[in-house]
Amino acid sequence: NVQAMVYGNMGEDSGTGVAFTRDPATGENVFYGEFLVNAQGEDVVAGVRTPRPVKELAQVFPEVYQQLLEVRRTLETHLKDMQDFEFTVERGKLYMLQTRNGKRTGLAAIRIAVDMVEEGLITPEEALKRVEPEQLNQLLRPIFDPQALRQAREEKRVVAKGLPAGPGAASGRVVFNAPDAEEWAARGEKVLLVRIETSPEDIKGMNAAVGILTARGGMTSHAALVARQMGKTCVVGCEALKVDYKARTITVDSTVIREGDWVSIDGFTGEVILGKLETRPSEVVQVLIEKSLAPEKSSSYHYFSRLMEWADKVRRLRVRANADQPDQAANAVAFGAEGIGLCRTEHMFFGGDRITAMREMILASTPEERQKALDKLLPMQREDFVGIFRVMGERPVTIRTLDPPLHEFLPHTEAEQREVAEAMGVPVEAIRAKVAELHEANPMLGHRGCRLGIVYPEITRMQARAILEAACQVKKEGIDVHPEIMIPLVGNVRELTDQARHVREVAEQVFAEQGVRVDYLVGTMIEVPRAALTAGEIAREAEFF
């Protein structure tokens, strides 16, 4: 194989460089790159010499620079994408070595796609195909200051790497449990919640933290799913971390991180970094959520909104969001959600008086005691639903009745059990016995979901009443609400029939009491194999899947 070669190291009239037809970091339509005089291509990337900005070619090799500008225009006109190319100048003559589609940040990808539509190079449909969903997501998350991140890497402060489960950038003081996260955050501290893995009882701590870091779990773990819904930066499955709850330390090789130490996590790369790094807020979030920035003052928002307008014109799917609280629902609406696809009621039970009432219900030994506890929970749930319905307006809201097994609401450590027993005025042995009784060999398939409602129909009836009373209240305010009540973990049509009967009986009672009716639906989620196999039968009872 014989290959013709050109050399950029033939003297002061020679050189080499790498250039992009647009800025790969910002997407700005400017000629971007670096070059070296009297050097070969590997010298540019090897770091042996400091390259010069490509715009300085206009002074060093004016004719070559003008040729490169023409090449830049030709490449984009022909290939219709931002190009990354290499060139060599040998004794004053320009040689193009190669070109390829350039790698770019999420911000750059969106800006380049939108600009190329406005320049007539591509169509809106082509622009949509150019942007990956994850690139669009990057526009919504805070990012580390690029200079600070570069310095941290150079100083070798990146000590571990996990799975980037929740995009964004977060720096906080390390805490190891949810109560501490709440307490520290309440006094104004930015905290990073570090767990081996998370569970539903960590919800309030996760909400208080600026970021979540776990040693176990994957991209569909509890931490990952909840963090993405909350908009929290999250890194999971970081197996290099040795988390010691008792000592309140994290060990990574020879490095020991203690409670209160500053740690930063990058939800785009999965990097775990020692120390505090400065972050930049997302302009899109400032415009849509915080309302602290006018839309016309944000170029990022301009590109984001243009791309989403084009997506709305061609899409055939309607998109809903997961939301368990009014503020989450408001965020969903701001980003264009056409409804709530899943509102998980169990998250409403964690915290304050709610978890106490929930535990009273679980520990109740008679139906009367259980109903007394449920009566405490009713107004709390109703208040939450009123807030969500007001935010969502006429958009549909799918609310799932209680799904997790009851043991998830009980304390599991000796200290927590004693604390709860003292607060509730019951023997600690009673709590231990109930925890043992409710223990599940496989919590994913045990006594949970619709089975809870079948054994304790008063739970389903309380939740149905809270939902429908809230719906009636908001309808009286002039908002035509559309609640959809989802019965979880149905595997047989008779399970849905049983639970739907309770919901509909309560609905008629509430409508009679309130003097107003609302349109509502009762359905289920096809989430177990048996339900999929008998979906035809279930469909005759369900008003939606």
Does some domain include residue 425?
A: no
**58-to-21, 40, 127, 386, 464 alpha-carbon distances in Å:** 16, 20, 32, 65, 73
Does some domain include residue 424?
no
- Domain membership of residue 432 (yes or no) is no
In CATH, what number is assigned to the domain containing residue 499? 3.20.20.60
Residues 66, 77 within the same domain: yes
pTM flag (> 0.75) = no
Same domain? 156 vs 9: no
Give the pair of three-digit tokens for residue 167: 């995009």
* Residue 235 domain flag: yes
- CATH number for the domain spanning 147: value is 3.50.30.10
The whole-number pLDDT of residue 48 equals 58
Please check whether residues 80 and 128 belong to one and the same domain: no
State whether 303 and 218 are in the same domain.
Answer: no
* Cβ-contact 262, 255 below 8 angstroms: no
Q: Give the domain-ending residue among 313, 330, 357.
A: 313
Report if residue 308 sits inside a domain. yes
| pLDDT at site 404 | 87
**Domain final residue pick, 104, 128, 155:** 104
DSSP assignment of 370-387, as one string? HHHHHHHHHHHHHHHHHH
pLDDT digits (tens), the chain, 545 positions:
888 899 999 999 999 998 999 988 778 999 988 899 999 877 776 555 678 889 999 999 999 999 999 999 999 999 999 999 999 999 999 999 999 999 887 888 999 999 999 999 999 999 999 999 878 887 888 888 878 988 999 999 999 999 888 778 999 999 999 999 999 999 999 999 999 999 888 999 999 999 999 998 877 678 887 887 787 889 988 989 999 999 999 999 999 999 999 999 998 789 999 999 988 888 899 899 989 889 999 888 999 999 999 999 999 999 999 999 999 999 999 999 999 999 999 888 876 678 888 888 888 888 898 899 999 999 999 999 999 999 999 999 999 999 988 888 888 788 888 888 887 788 888 888 888 888 887 877 788 999 999 999 999 999 999 999 999 999 999 999 999 999 999 999 999 999 999 999 999 999 999 999 999 999 999 999 999 999 999 999 999 99
Q: Within this chain, do residues 372 and 484 fall inside the same structural domain, yes or no?
A: yes
Same domain? 479 vs 361: yes
* 249 and 342, same domain (yes or no): no
Q: Are residues 223 and 304 in the same domain?
A: no
Nearest-CA neighbor of 402 among 456, 449, 465, 454? Answer: 449
Q: Are residues 28 and 87 in the same domain?
A: yes
Examine residue 434 and state whether it is found in any structural domain, yes or no. no
Indicate whether 411 belongs to any domain: no
Residues 155 and 251 in one domain: yes
Q: Which domain holds residue 202?
A: 143-280
CATH value at residue 119: 1.10.189
How many structural domains does the chain have? 4
Residue 288 carries which DSSP code? I
CATH code at position 14: 3.30.470.20
Residues 270 and 150 in one domain: yes
Q: At what angle do helices 326-334 and 367-392 cross, to 10 degrees?
A: 30
> Looking at the structure, do residues 200 and 339 belong to the same domain, yes or no?
no
Q: Residue 423 domain-assigned?
A: no
**Can you give the pLDDT at residue 106?**
82
